[in-house]
Amino acid sequence: MGINWGGRSFSLRRRPRFLRGPFMERPLDATPIATNRLLLRPHRLHAADAEAWHFIVNEPKTREFLEWPHRDRHASRRHLEHRTRHVRLWQADDFLALAIELDGVVIGDVSLHVRSTEKSNRSAEIGWLLDSRHSGRGYATEAATAMLALAFDVLEAQWVTAIVRTGNLRSAALARRLGFNAVAAGEEHDAFLMPGLTWDEHGREARRRYGVDLGPAERSISATTSPVRILAEKIL
Ligand SMILES: CC(C)(COP(=O)(O)OP(=O)(O)OC[C@H]1O[C@@H](n2cnc3c(N)ncnc32)[C@H](O)[C@@H]1OP(=O)(O)O)[C@@H](O)C(=O)NCCC(=O)NCCS
């Protein structure tokens, strides 16, 4: 993806690591998170996952709202391969993508994008994507709740944003259902925001309802150990 300005083109790809500012106190590494009905885990290049991913990325709604091109099998596999590498949050622009697995089958993806790392100002953007054949059963809500727990309880984000393309009603409804507030409407996108305080109010109930347990007590773990890894070991 890129933009043109004054006859020059600029890439919107991630900046090189050395230009991305300070690291957080510790990295957050992707490890599996179990919820009541789902398993969130890093993407893999297995044949079954590649097949599921090929279907998901080519769904018309997915393509429309994420502005994704049609991907043939080779391209969707390469896309999935990129996703398998997004397993650590440590610096601005880092991206964590987890497959949403239901009964052993990949049915979607939830992600977090670190936008700023400074502790008092830390923020992340959440993303979600579901195989439409599994829509309407609360799976996206359940998976996103686990990602919010990760963002607020482990990453210690001060707020989380969701950027939704105008007209993407299911995505906007999901943001509202999770407790986000619409804060800005652009020509093409609407911005939703959830401050940590809102999560403090709703998080306990959300975690209870969806079986997510990434308790704040886990925050004070030593800098060399990934808190998510320890939590996953407890859960699985
Ligand atoms: C955005 C998207 C993930 C939302 O999926 P979804 O199926 O609407 O969301 P959920 O899985 O949380 O399901 C919610 C529905 O299940 C119902 N539901 C049933 N059981 C539920 C439960 N236990 N908890 C919550 N909701 C439940 C809700 O009432 C809601 O019903 P409704 O659609 O009739 O209002 C999906 O539409 C999608 O992937 N779109 C294409 C990609 C995309 O646009 N991504 C976002 C880019 S910003």
Q: Over the stretch 112-159, which tens digit does the pLDDT of each residue have?
A: 999 999 999 999 999 999 999 999 999 999 999 999 999 999 999 999
H helix or E strand, kind and range, residue 79: helix 73-84
Q: Annotate 148-163 with b (16+ C-beta within 10 A) or e (fewer).
A: bbbbbbbbbbbbbbbb
Q: How far apart are CA 51 and CA 67, in angstroms?
A: 21
Q: How far apart are CA 229 and CA 95, in angstroms?
A: 17
Nearest alpha carbon, ligand 1 atom 9: 140
222 is a domain residue: yes
Better pLDDT: 221 or 189: 189
Q: How far apart are CA 236 and CA 224, in angstroms?
A: 21
Q: Of 171, 178, 207, 210, which is best to mutate to test ligand 1, by the most ligand atoms within 8 angstroms of its C-beta? A: 171
Q: Ligand 1 pocket, 79 CB below 6 A?
A: no
Closest CA to 110 of 95, 98, 122, 123: 98
pLDDT, average across residues 82-91: 96
Question: What CATH number did the domain enclosing 131 receive?
Answer: 3.40.630.30
How far is Cα of residue 211 from the mean position of the Cα atoms in its chain? 18
223 is a domain residue: yes
pLDDT, average across residues 46-63: 97
Closest CA to 45 of 111, 6, 99: 99
Q: Of 125, 131, 141, 210, which is best to mutate to test ligand 1, by the most ligand atoms within 8 angstroms of its C-beta? A: 141
8 is a domain residue: no
Strand partners, 127: 111
62 is a domain residue: yes
What band does 7 get if pLDDT is binned at 50, 70 and 90?
Answer: low
19 is a domain residue: no
146 is a domain residue: yes
Q: How far apart are CA 231 and CA 221, in angstroms?
A: 11
What band does 5 get if pLDDT is binned at 50, 70 and 90?
Answer: low
1 is a domain residue: no
Mean pLDDT of the chain, nearest integer: 87
Query: Worst-scoring range by mean pLDDT, 7-11, 69-73, 189-193, 196-200?
Result: 7-11
Q: How far is the CA of 136 from the centre of ligand 1 (A)?
A: 5
17 is a domain residue: no
pLDDT, average across residues 10-39: 84
Better pLDDT: 167 or 214: 167
Q: Quote the number of domains for the chain.
A: 1
Reported pTM: 0.88
Tokens of 171: 């995505």
Atom of ligand 1 nearest to the CA of 163: 48
Q: Ligand 1 pocket, 58 CB below 6 A?
A: no
Query: Worst-scoring range by mean pLDDT, 2-11, 13-22, 103-112, 180-189?
Result: 2-11
Atom of ligand 1 nearest to the CA of 131: 39
pLDDT, average across residues 42-59: 97
In this prediction, residue 8 carries a pLDDT of 55
Instruction: State percent of the chain over pLDDT 70.
Output: 85
- The residue range of the domain holding 105 is 25-235
Q: How far is the CA of 144 from the centre of ligand 1 (A)?
A: 10
In this prediction, residue 11 carries a pLDDT of 54
Tokens of 120: 């008092």
In this prediction, residue 74 carries a pLDDT of 98
Better pLDDT: 1 or 168: 168
Q: Of 174, 180, 193, which is best to mutate to test ligand 1, by the most ligand atoms within 8 angstroms of its C-beta? A: 174
- Per the CB < 8 A criterion, the answer to whether 106 and 52 are in contact is yes
- Per the CB < 8 A criterion, the answer to whether 38 and 130 are in contact is no
Q: Ligand 1 pocket, 176 CB below 6 A?
A: no
